[in-house]
């Protein structure tokens, strides 16, 4: 029997979505197999080292360590300092949990810069793994960053990656191959996953249902309101969408938070489209976002750069809602254009508006795309299948 600790950097343990859903669902599979599963993470507000248990998984909450000063597309000095604070602040709790619960394996999520925590895990008897990492191709094998990245990766016993292919800038990257250059024998492809039955059981909030009832079409943009995520591109395309709908009324819901929140309010007024735009009063994440998506006729993800995967597509398809997005990053590895969704060039407002109007006027096509996406989720991204693969990797290694 293994004792497995999952370490979530600055992620609220109460949220359902993203890594938290992955950890919870894979954890349940590991518990079913007889293993013990623990999660070390943070809450926005709460007591230090507070412990709760749910479905056989023990959650250890250690307070607020959210990164500060992050703005796309650049990483600020303030953000890097908060990363340092996170690592220093987490080390004593990590060591305590490993010793207290006699942990065998420790899984870190996303950042190879958690290498100091991996070294700590080794010192106190836990075997460190890194999950869901993305490697960018670096400038030559002799560069400082190349060797730094390689050194960080090698602090972990093995790596799980959920991205097979993606592109950044003009480069098309084979993420699996890049990772295996750093650690050839210890890389495992483990895609993200979702449980469609969890989405099916959700009940949208009354205000979401009312928003749907008062318009002809509800279009949801479930991404952070940042330049990188392209929220402003969608906003600028709305006048052309309204013109193309010829009197039918859409409502575009910008359902997250970010640096463009104020801009969207101001710009929608200057464009004269404020009656067609709703910015959620608070960011909708996890189950709240999925509840809103269930009310949508269309989900639009207008990203401009470096999307790695896109769990939001799996959530939309699980709710049988079609998607429009851009051909950047790992999106093309998830969406098959014309089969499970529609892809447009990043930043092309005219083409984006045309795609939105065409789909809103074609309910049969929307249904066909959504059904294809739903089938793909169940065949390729079923969380139970992914969890079983994770359990097999840990048990054999």
User: Residues of 95-123 as b/e, b for ≥16 C-beta within 10 angstroms?
Assistant: bebbeebebbbbbbbbbbbbbbbbebbbe
The Cα 95–Cα 97 span in angstroms is 6
pLDDT at 139 (0 to 100)? 55
The Cα 142–Cα 189 span in angstroms is 27
pLDDT at 102 (0 to 100)? 96
Whether residue 35 contacts residue 1, with contact meaning beta carbons closer than 8 Å, is answered with yes
Whether residue 82 contacts residue 67, with contact meaning beta carbons closer than 8 Å, is answered with yes
The Cα 183–Cα 328 span in angstroms is 27
pLDDT at 354 (0 to 100)? 97
The Cα 357–Cα 367 span in angstroms is 15
Query: The pTM is what?
Result: 0.82
Contacts of 95 (CB under 8 A, 6+ apart): 120, 123, 124
Distance from the first to the final alpha carbon of the chain? 13
The Cα 236–Cα 390 span in angstroms is 43
What single string gives the DSSP state of each residue in 323-356?
A: EEEES-GGGGGT--BTTTBEEE-TT-HHHHHHHH
Q: What are phi and psi of 280, to 5 degrees?
A: -60, 140
Read off the tokens for 233.
Answer: 């591109």
**Within a 13 Å sphere around the CA of 156, how many CA atoms are in the beta-carbon half?**
31
Output the CA–CA distances (angstroms, integers) from residue 346 to 18, 55, 373, in the order listed.
24, 42, 22
Q: Taking the chain (397 residues) in consecutive chunks of 10 residues, what is each chunk's mean pLDDT?
A: 85 51 83 92 67 87 58 60 83 94 92 91 95 71 74 92 73 82 87 84 90 94 89 96 95 90 94 94 81 95 81 92 90 88 95 97 96 93 87 87
The Cα 248–Cα 358 span in angstroms is 13
User: Residues of 329-344 as b/e, b for ≥16 C-beta within 10 angstroms?
Assistant: bbbbbbbeeeebbbbb
CATH dotted code for 3-193+382-396: 3.40.50.2000
Read off the tokens for 387.
Answer: 């969890």
DSSP 114: G
Three-state DSSP state, 190: coil
What are the residue ranges spanned by the domains of the chain? 3-193+382-396, 197-379
- Sheet (strand 250-254) strand order: 277-279, 250-254, 217-221, 298-301, 323-326, 342-344
The Cα 360–Cα 244 span in angstroms is 10
CATH dotted code for 197-379: 3.40.50.2000
Domain 3-193+382-396 identical in fold to domain 197-379 = yes
């Amino acid at each position: 029997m293994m004792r497995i600790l999952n370490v979530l950097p600055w992620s609220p343990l109460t949220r359902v979505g993203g890594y938290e859903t992955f950890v919870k669902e894979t954890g349940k599979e590991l518990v079913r197999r007889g293993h013990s599963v623990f999660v070390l993470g943070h809450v926005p507000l709460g007591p230090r080292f507070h412990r709760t248990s749910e479905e056989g998984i023990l959650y250890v909450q250690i307070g607020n360590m959210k990164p500060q000063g992050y703005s796309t597309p650049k990483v600020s000095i303030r953000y890097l300092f908060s990363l340092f604070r996170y690592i220093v602040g987490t080390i004593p709790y990590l060591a305590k949990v490993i010793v207290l619960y006699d942990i065998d394996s420790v899984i870190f999520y996303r950042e190879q810069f958690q290498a100091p925590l991996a070294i700590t895990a080794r010192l106190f008897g836990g075997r460190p793994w890194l999950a869901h990492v993305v490697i960018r191709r670096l400038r030559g094998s002799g560069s400082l960053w190349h060797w730094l990245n390689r050194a960080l990766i090698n602090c972990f016993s093995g790596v799980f990656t959920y991205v097979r292919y993606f592109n950044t800038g003009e480069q098309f990257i084979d993420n699996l191959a890049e990772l295996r250059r750093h650690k050839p024998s210890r890389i495992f492809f483990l895609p993200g996953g979702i449980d469609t039955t969890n989405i099916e059981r959700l009940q949208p909030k009354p205000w979401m249902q009312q928003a749907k009832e008062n318009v002809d079409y509800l279009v949801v943009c479930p991404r952070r309101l940042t330049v990188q995520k392209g929220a402003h591109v969608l906003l600028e395309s709305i006048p052309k969408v309204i013109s193309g709908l010829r009197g039918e009324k859409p409502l575009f819901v910008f359902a997250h938070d970010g640096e463009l929140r104020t801009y969207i309010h101001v710009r929608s007024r200057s464009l004269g489209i404020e009656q067609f735009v709703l910015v959620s009063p608070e960011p909708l994440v996890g189950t709240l976002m999925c509840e809103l998506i269930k009310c949508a006729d269309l989900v639009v993800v207008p990203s401009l750069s470096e999307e790695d995967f896109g769990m939001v597509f799996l959530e939309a398809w699980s709710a049988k809602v079609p998607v429009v997005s851009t051909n950047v990053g790992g999106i093309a590895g998830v969406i098959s254009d014309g089969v499970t969704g529609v892809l447009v060039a990043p930043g092309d407002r005219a083409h984006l508006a045309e795609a939105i109007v065409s789909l809103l006027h074609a309910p049969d096509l929307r249904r066909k795309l959504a059904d294809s996406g739903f089938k793909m989720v169940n065949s390729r991204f079923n969380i139970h299948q992914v969890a079983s693969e994770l359990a097999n990797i840990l048990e054999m290694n």
